[in-house]
A and B are shown apart, each in its own frame.
Chain A
Amino acid sequence: MMTGFNRKFFQWSFITAIFAWLYLPIVLLVVNSFNDSKYGHEWKGFTWKWYEKLFENEALVQAFLNSLLIAGLAATVATIIGTLMALAIHRYRFPLKGTASGMLFVVMMSPDIVLAITFLVVFIALGIQLGFWSLLIAHITFCLPFVVITVYAQLKGFDKHLLEAAQDLGASESRIFRLIILPLVFPAIIAGWLLSFTLSLDDVIISSFVTGPSFEILPIRVFSMVKVGVSPEVNVLATLLLIISLLLVTLSTLLLRRKY
């Protein structure tokens, strides 16, 4: 049997290896954001010029901010609706329940291009102006199944007697949800939010169909740079986002960790 120390060592090397693997491409991007060479195939000296260029490129920065806004909103709304849906599917009986859970799978299985076209057709039929709102609705919808599946798996695992006891004591559905279910599925809710945020931040095909000229987001902008070559300014954005994320982690560790 492995000793405690050996096991710890083995566990940490495993975690470190996975993180090294996940961060390898990101480190390359960060390095290239300071690379004087435009396409980053070799090191041609240190430069700040891509940073300067980015701050002059209003359209790109605006698209980046729009992306963060949409991803944040879509993930939050999808997490709220998705958690409620998971609850409905887990706890309640209602007509068309099978169809409803089937539809969630359909969203996951439908190719992006099909979802893109169907969303566009629905928005045109409903007379929804293409732009912010259409984009938000589409993003919420394609994030939903990921939240529902994650939260459902968590609901599935816990003790039904707890809920029955609460019910017997006369707690209302919304109280049961707030005081018992929500705390229990909280880890899954966080997981669902992170998944949704990531999915939303990265979508190109669906977004390029459902957005209008008034609202551009980063992935579309980056993919449509192919004619002139993707500019290292995008590496700068990646670097900045990484730095902000790391700052957030450090800051929250310093500020909040005492509570734990």
Chain B
Amino acid sequence: MIKPLFTFRYSVIALTLFWLGLFVLVPHVLVLIVSVLSPDPQHLVVWPLTLDSWARLFDPLYLEVFWYSLWLSGLTTLICLLLGYPFAWVLAQLPAWWRGVLLFLMIVPFWTNSLIRTYAIKLSLGNKGVVNSLLVGLGITDEPVELLYTPFAVVFGLVYVLLPFMVLPLVASFDKLDKHLLEAARDLGAGWWQRFRHVVLPLTMPGVIAGCLIVFLPAMGMFYVSDLLGGAKNLLLGNIIRNQFMVVHDWPFGAALSVALIMLMAMLLWLYFAANRRINRQGGLDDDGI
């Protein structure tokens, strides 16, 4: 039997390949090509082909910036997970209606413009802000604590912005956690930790991985939080790439930095998924390698 071409299956596959091919693959192949062209402040890029931009990546400065960005994103992801997991768990135990309402209310603050929201965070963390007034007023400290323009403020801001990205996929994954399984485990005499370790965690693992991915990857490129709350005293990869494109107009180097970033992250993800598959065959978007 010959399958007709316009079946559901083929339409879905065609749509996937068409959209990602046209709007993602082709442009990023262009980025790759730009990265091996020569820079020119007048015409953006010119011939001949050269690997100069790639050679410049080996400057230890960029490696340091990469590690710092990685560390910041990693820490943010970890804190989001530690806050988001119990939060999602509690939410998941509520009746479906209340869970929906609370999730909606959780995301509403993020519909206000990020710039004015960040201004508000700055106002609350400043020397005369709400947090310091509270600390001094309650007699916890004598003088205002320097919170704003510190690494603390950066992580604070990043966790604030990204927490919903952790919670939403987690709540979805708790949703399908079968209560009977937990009861069965309890009946078999499993303790709190055992139930968590052997039942809850494995079943919600896809949600954990999804949440971590959509917190960690965007955090790598998010430099405005660090600039506004951290006082822009450290460079992140996002800053460096932006400056190359917008200020120095060295597009090949900007492209090389960006391609290198994507390749390094892909490598890290691949290592992670490979290790994960070996350990317990649970994972996220890992089927066919990346």
Contact = CB atoms under 8 A, between A and B. Distances in A.
- Touch between A and B in complex, CB under 8 Å? yes
Interface of A: 1, 11, 14-15, 18-19, 21-26, 28-29, 32, 40-41, 81, 84-85, 87-90, 92, 94, 96-114, 117-119, 121-122, 137, 141, 144-146, 148-150, 152-154, 156-158, 172-174, 177, 184, 187-188, 190-192, 194-195, 197-198, 201-202, 204, 218-219, 222-223, 230, 234-235, 237-238, 241-242, 245-246, 249, 253, 257, 260
B210 A106 contact: no
29 contacts: A11-B90, A22-B163, A29-B112, A81-B19, A88-B13, A89-B16, A89-B285, A94-B13, A98-B290, A101-B287, A101-B290, A102-B266, A105-B269, A113-B242, A114-B245, A117-B245, A122-B22, A150-B210, A153-B284, A195-B164, A195-B165, A201-B111, A222-B116, A234-B113, A245-B104, A249-B104, A253-B97, A253-B101, A260-B95
Contacts of A202: 110, 113-114
Nearest to B9: A173
Most buried by B among A88, A117, A173: A117
B24 A106 contact: yes
A35 B33 CA distance: 53
Interface of B: 7-9, 12-13, 15-17, 19-28, 30-31, 83, 86-87, 90-91, 95-97, 100-117, 119-121, 123-124, 130, 160, 163-165, 168-169, 171-173, 175-176, 192, 203, 206-207, 209-210, 213-214, 217-218, 220-221, 237-238, 241-242, 245-246, 254-255, 258, 261-262, 265-266, 269, 283-285, 287-290
Nearest to A120: B27
Contact of B31 (A14, A118, A152, A187): A118
A104 B20 contact: yes
Contacts of B95: 260
Contacts of A204: 114
Contacts of A119: 23, 27
A25 B207 contact: no
A258 B11 CA distance: 40
A194 B287 CA distance: 26
Given A92-B12, A195-B214, A150 B169 contact: yes
Contacts of B16: 84-85, 88-89, 100
Contacts of A237: 112-113
Nearest to B116: A234
A113 B232 CA distance: 18
Contacts of A102: 266, 290
Contacts of A191: 103, 168-169, 171-172
Q: Chain A: interface secondary structure?
A: helix
Contact of A24 (B9, B124, B164): B124
Most buried by B among A21, A22, A25: A25
Most buried by A among B20, B25, B237, B287: B20
Nearest to B106: A22
B244 to A, nearest CB: 9
A92 B11 CA distance: 12
A113 B246 contact: yes
B187 to A, nearest CB: 16
B288 to A, nearest CB: 4
B251 to A, nearest CB: 8
Given A19-B105, A25-B121, A108-B217, A101 B285 contact: yes
A181 to B, nearest CB: 11
Contacts of B91: 15
B164 A114 contact: no
A29 B117 contact: yes
Given A92-B13, A153-B284, A195-B165, A25 B117 contact: yes
B163 to A, nearest CB: 8
B172 A113 contact: no
Given A148-B285, A154-B176, A253-B97, 11 more contacts: A19-B106, A22-B160, A40-B119, A90-B287, A94-B17, A101-B288, A152-B284, A188-B169, A188-B172, A191-B103, A219-B113
B285 A14 contact: no
Given A113-B241, A230-B119, A22 B109 contact: yes
A222 B113 contact: yes
Nearest to B174: A187
Top 8 closest pairs, chain A to chain B, by CB: A118-B27, A25-B120, A153-B210, A191-B168, A238-B112, A153-B206, A174-B8, A98-B288
A113 B109 CA distance: 25
Contact of A84 (B15, B241, B262): B15
A29 B120 contact: yes
B265 A109 contact: yes
